[in-house]
Amino acid sequence: MGNPVIPFKLPDDFLMGTATASAQIEGGDKNNNWYRWAEQGRIKDGSHCIVAADHWNRVDEDIKLMKSLNCKLYRLSLEWSRIEPQRGQFDLAAIAHYRSELEKLQEAGIKPLVTLHHFSNPLWLEDEGAWLNSEVIDLFERYTAFAVAHLGDLVSDWVTINEPNVYLLYGYIFGEWPPGKKSMGDYFKGAGNMIRAHIMAYRKIHELRKTKGYEDTLVGVANHLRLYDSKNDSSLEKLVCRLYDRLTQEIFISGMTEGKLIPPLGAGYPLGKGRYFDFFGINYYTRDMIGFTFDPAMMFGRREVKEGAETNDLGWELYAEGLYRLCKKYYRRFGVPVFVTENGTCDNQDCFRTKYIYDHLYELKRLNEEGIQVPRYYHWTLMDNFEWIEGLSARFGLVEVDFETQERRIRRSGEFFAEVSSNNGVTEEMIQKYLLQN
């Protein structure tokens, strides 16, 4: 899998950390759309998010784990359903809980990157049409303003929306996530609203922090990006690859970077042409090989795994070079630092995660040597969690969680991650210890 195993050094200012999402780790919240989805028995393995990793009650323990992993960074999300449990009613105790967590991260020397929306909606918003309701743009801006007013002195770095394309594809095209619809029209409507909401939130975060005298604000989107490669290198397949890229990725990127709507989503700059990002966030996991089909319902393409490729426990191809290709593409396009806001793999037995981390960090080393600024890497994820429709059975964590006892244990891949972060690279001793023993 991946690159030859040799020692390498990362840039002196390169920072490593982990990423999580509130609905996946916190537990205890019955007021969000994923709680309802689990109650309806929609999770593949029959599990539930009501306890998850019980992080809400174990913040101190989990920050100690981050310290053990030598995390310099931590990407976390706020749970909108906790902060605004009813429309227009904000919970001061909930925001105080997040404030306390952020203060503890600060004390531990871990820099937070806070995500405002990571797939989960308050039930009141879900029942009002969620991201299909045009009011959501103003509602999201109000929620953003509340969060920044209470946390902005502790947080300079923000992600407005995580993977808008994934949220809409699985909720409104594939019908596997809440609200379980299958409508191209709804997909595009939601995309337009999410783009507008991001722009308004971007402006609001900068405005509020600037009035307090802060000049270090960074705001962006965590874009789920994958490569679409032609299976047989045919002209038809390459055309379909471009179609997939446009409909599932480019409409969001264009809208959320410069405010431009492109066909078939729309045209022009509804909120004005601008620069609505301070970094370019990439969540990267895998690629798809595209084979041509005459079925228009599949956009004339079958998404497949490269024949003979190594895959993870969910059947995703292990293709580290894809991270190199994507970072290079978007850095050259936009000229701003690229943050790897998520990268990880489902490996229940921890058989290949260590090599996965090695391979992807090696690609970042290559990029930085070429002058492509990728200064941050957030591994998905800190600990095993509720992995959305897959439930508790898909394990991405550097830390193993026993969901019955909530006992945590750092995996061998986690020990490797900790040493890489400490050494800012991989030594020959580390290769012998972690990569040649498997």
Domain of residue 174, CATH code: 3.20.20.80
Q: Quick one: average pLDDT of 378-407?
A: 98
With respect to residue 418, please indicate whether it lies within any of the assigned structural domains: yes
Strand partners, 339: 281, 376
Give the pLDDT score at 296.
Answer: 72
Q: How far apart are CA 411 and CA 413, in angstroms?
A: 5
With respect to residue 240, please indicate whether it lies within any of the assigned structural domains: no
Q: Quick one: average pLDDT of 109-117?
A: 99
Which value, in Å, is the radius of gyration of the alpha carbons in the chain? 21
Q: Percent of the chain beyond pLDDT 70?
A: 98
Q: Quick one: average pLDDT of 8-37?
A: 98
Give the pLDDT score at 4.
Answer: 77
Give long-range contacts, CB 8 A cutoff, 24+ apart: 56-60: 56/26, 56/27, 56/28, 56/29, 56/97, 57/27, 57/28, 58/406, 59/100, 59/101, 59/104, 60/104
Residue (of 105, 106, 85) closest to 95 by Cα position = 85
Domain housing 338: 8-229+272-287+307-435
With respect to residue 429, please indicate whether it lies within any of the assigned structural domains: yes
Q: What are the tokens at 269?
A: 């700059």
Give the pLDDT score at 72.
Answer: 98
Our separate counts of H helices and E strands in the chain read: 15, 15
The pLDDT tens digits for 314-362 are 999 999 999 999 999 999 999 999 999 999 999 999 999 999 999 999 9
User: Would the pLDDT of 194 be above 60?
Assistant: yes
Q: What are the tokens at 14?
A: 């390169």
- Residue showing tokens 């394309």: 165
Q: Percent of the chain beyond pLDDT 90?
A: 96
With respect to residue 267, please indicate whether it lies within any of the assigned structural domains: no
Q: Quick one: average pLDDT of 262-272?
A: 97
Q: Quick one: average pLDDT of 142-146?
A: 98
Q: What are the tokens at 214?
A: 């802060």
Q: How far apart are CA 412 and CA 314, in angstroms?
A: 21
Name, in order, each residue with C-beta under 8 angstroms of 102's C-beta and a sequence gap of 6 or more: 112, 114, 151, 154, 155
The pLDDT tens digits for 38-81 are 999 999 999 999 999 999 999 999 999 999 999 999 999 999 99
With respect to residue 86, please indicate whether it lies within any of the assigned structural domains: yes
With respect to residue 302, please indicate whether it lies within any of the assigned structural domains: no
Q: DSSP readout, 235-275?
A: HHHHHHHHHHHIIIIIHHHHHHHH--B-TTT--B-TT-S--
Give the pLDDT score at 293.
Answer: 77
Q: Are strands 376-380 and 338-342 parallel, antiparallel or unpaired?
A: parallel
SS3 338: strand
Phi, psi at residue 34, to the nearest 5°? -75, -30
Q: Quick one: average pLDDT of 275-286?
A: 98
With respect to residue 3, please indicate whether it lies within any of the assigned structural domains: no
Q: Structural domain tally of the chain? A: 1
Q: Quick one: average pLDDT of 216-240?
A: 95
User: Would the pLDDT of 27 be above 80?
Assistant: yes
Q: Are strands 399-401 and 408-410 parallel, antiparallel or unpaired?
A: antiparallel
With respect to residue 257, please indicate whether it lies within any of the assigned structural domains: no
Q: Quick one: average pLDDT of 285-289?
A: 97
Q: Quick one: average pLDDT of 209-238?
A: 96
Q: How confident is the model at residue 438 (pLDDT cuts 50, 70, 90)?
A: low
Q: Quick one: average pLDDT of 380-408?
A: 98
Q: How confident is the model at residue 128 (pLDDT cuts 50, 70, 90)?
A: very high
